[in-house]
Amino acid sequence: MDYPEPGTPQGMLPYRSPGEPREAWLALATSIDPEVAGYFLISARCGCFMQAARSLNIKATLLRKRLVQLEEQMQRSLFSYQGNVLTLSRDGQQLQARLIALVHERRLPVQEQPLMRLAVAETILHDILGRDLIALLRRNARIRLDIVSIDSPLALQAVEADVVLWLGAIDSPEPGPRFVTHPPQALARLEYLPHIAKRYSRLAARPDSIDDLMDYMLVQWQPDYLVDALQPWNRLVQQRVAGVVQVQAYPLMLEMIRCSACIGLLPRYMSFFDRGLTALPGLFGEDMQRQVWMAVNAATAHPQEVEMLVAMLLKTFEERREWFSAER
């Protein structure tokens, strides 16, 4: 916005009737649309139109348009820029104080946002969903979202949520969540292979048999011990009497592969997630595959909001189809 007044030539004072007290215009505050009043107060509090728009979950262009209309209604310039900082003008400060007083007088409650609960396998959360979930929060700063990380089949059985994403068998979502859900949907099939950092292994010297792994340290993410589909790798790790490290934190396992010349078991898509990692195919005669399943709670209290969350999740997997087509 350019200030002073909307529609007022640069340098001219705001319109005021002869003899009108400077604060008389504040009586108009009671006629301001409550939604627009909220737009103004949040913008004043944030000191940034972009942040205010995020908080309101609207486009910044719409926010600016409504605030310009408010200035026209009040016949006052309410905002000004000092350098790159958005501040309230003197009239804006007076209007802010008046609107806050009206809010307290009316005891208007803050609009409560529905609480959504998302339970998701830790690896999927870290590798696939993290960026898009952050983008969702960036677009809507008022959302209430409880994200629960599932790191084992036992955790899956214990959790209750509006939406659940878990890793299961290829041909069946069982065992899935214990609560009643709509029919589970298969989102992606993952193939698991040993991975190594490219920086620690020249192409001509990379291991091409299980025996070659004796020259490398193996790193095991402990929750994978409970997964039947990963038994070829798990047996190899269990047989080790030296050169093996077990970790409970998934990000730590990734760092050990990236920075410590370790070899660890990861989904094949990791070469898309981290270009510094490369898969080592052909070491095991048995395939190690899992399916990403998604289910929605049949008794969710907020179906409209949950539908928005599900649409975001489906879009994320669709946009990464190349990651999963490479699995096959």
Residue 10 has pLDDT above 50, yes or no: no
Residue 279 has pLDDT above 90, yes or no: yes
Residue 16 has pLDDT above 50, yes or no: no
Cα 85 to Cα 22: distance, rounded to the nearest angstrom: 26
pLDDT digits (tens, 9 = 90+) for 127-161: 999 999 988 887 777 788 999 999 888 889 889 99
Identify the residue with better confidence: 14 or 65: 65
Predicted local distance difference test score (pLDDT) of residue 58: 84
Give residue 4's pLDDT band: very low, low, confident or very high (50, 70, 90): very low
Predicted local distance difference test score (pLDDT) of residue 203: 67
Give residue 204's pLDDT band: very low, low, confident or very high (50, 70, 90): low
- Its pTM stands at 0.70
Residue 326 has pLDDT above 70, yes or no: no
Question: In the chain, what are the domains?
Answer: 24-106 (1.10.10.10), 115-325 (3.40.190.290)
Predicted local distance difference test score (pLDDT) of residue 54: 82
Residue 2 has pLDDT above 50, yes or no: no
